[in-house]
Chain A
Amino acid sequence: MKNTPFTEKHIALGAKMAEFAGYNMPISYTGINDEHASVRNNVGIFDVSHMGEFMLKGEHALDLIQRVTSNDASKLTAGKAQYSCFPNEEGGIVDDLIVYCIEENKVYMLVVNASNIEKDWNWVNRYNVNNVEMHNISDRTCLLAIQGPNATKLLQPLTDMDIMNLKYYTFSKGKFAGIDNVVVSATGYTGAGGVEIYFENSDGAADIIWDKMMELGIKPIGLAARDTLRLEMGFCLYGNDIDDTTSPLEGGLGWITKFTKEFTAKAILEKQKLDGIKRKLVGFEMVDRGIPRHDYIIKDATGDIIGKVTSGTQAPSLGKAIGLGYVAIAHAALDSEIFIDIRNSLVKAKVVKAPFA
């Protein structure tokens, strides 16, 4: 099991630790509801240094990114980032990612899921026919997400970069807490506002920045609350809600699938769009008492199987049970009544829009 540069800090703080994607990660510190509320209402910090970062450089870098991702990275100018995915040859999803444009047409950073670093690296390399310079900088890159409505105003005094006015999905690079070349990105996986910061772990930078965050009284948050926060927003989790067998159109990612350019499985996805998808990822909330969980079966009122739950939880901020799941298209409309098979009883739910409210 690998450590992040912060693993010892989490253990010293008494976090409940567990293996995630091969890393020893903090799952929770003070309790999931408490951590969730801190981020939603105030501020919290996540160590997500297990995530993968690839640098792509050179005149063909953009061509390669355009070829392997579904969104249109040619729209990016320096300082902008974009949510995207790698479709596979069958129209499924290899991974979802964020593309950062460091220097237009020249330097890009791809941020991928920890569990898929090797798979993604091999995938992108497979299409790298024009010798784009690629570096896997995952192991030396720290990633901390400081999330919550009070995050940017707390962090602003640590830097000359104007981070309070950073627009969603844009970023700056500069000195932060005395450390050079820190990327501060107005992104995150919580819907609570705030930033993610990327920096190289050299000359004790990890310790310096982490200790500064603790001095500011920013509460550390585990991966368990990260999951409930993202689920309340209806954000997909790779491996749960989207995977090699689900298409971006089925997964509600049509908005990052741009048919104005060439990319993997474009023809398959275009046809799928034309013919209409047969199943769709929907948000639902429980009407009757019960909590949906990954892999629970979804049925219609007559007990016929119509789909499967991909994520589910009791939503800490909402006080109700919510989930995401694939259902046959006939049951995907808002307000459709569906039933979750929970321990052999059919528990009523209804399709609602995400973000959940």
Chain B
Amino acid sequence: MNFPANLRYTKDHEWISLEGNTATIGITEFAQSELGDIVYVDINTIGKALNAEEVFGTVEAVKTVSDLFLPVAGTVLEVNPALEKAPELVNNDPYGDGWMVKVEVSNPADVDGLLTSEAYTSLVG
């Protein structure tokens, strides 16, 4: 499985990529493959300031539903609008077109404390 080295990861299987104070967040290839066909991404936290590890939404697969946890504290700025019509993008391109939210991160240094690609690989390996 592919866990790009330029991203950071959580034990809850989210990835995060930081540019300035703005982070893009999604779920990993491992997570999408465990969930199976994703049919609905339900995120109602735009504008909300959330703590690290707080639930920012849920992802529904055909058979199961899973909470989405924010990797670091921040405010949800935007939900990927493409997921409304095409939630399967999360399966097909989890690190690209299947991103989930953009977040204004409270403290960018928090991201350094998350798992590296190497550490995450050994976690799910």
Give A contacts to B, CB under 8 Å.
28, 31-33, 224, 227-228, 289-291, 293, 313-314, 316, 343
Contacts and interface: CB of A to CB of B under 8 A. Distances in A.
Given A227-B63, A289-B40, 6 more contacts: A32-B62, A32-B63, A228-B63, A290-B42, A291-B60, A314-B39
A44 B63 CA distance: 19
Contacts of A31: 36-37
A33 B63 contact: no
A32 B40 contact: no
18 contacts: A32-B36, A32-B37, A32-B61, A32-B62, A32-B63, A33-B37, A33-B62, A224-B36, A224-B63, A289-B40, A290-B40, A291-B65, A293-B65, A313-B63, A316-B37, A316-B62, A343-B42, A343-B58
A170 B15 CA distance: 54
Contacts of B62: 32-33, 224, 228, 313-314, 316
A291 B63 contact: no
Contacts of A33: 37, 62
Interface string B54-67: 00001011110100
Interface string B18-45: 0000000000000000001101101000
B88 to A, nearest CB: 8
Contacts of B40: 289-291, 314
A186 to B, nearest CB: 28
B39 A291 contact: yes
Contacts of A314: 39-40, 60, 62
Which one of A228, A290, A293, A314 has the highest number of Cβ atoms from chain B below 10 Å of its Cβ?
A314
A204 B63 CA distance: 35
A313 B40 CA distance: 11
Nearest to A314: B39
Contacts of B61: 32
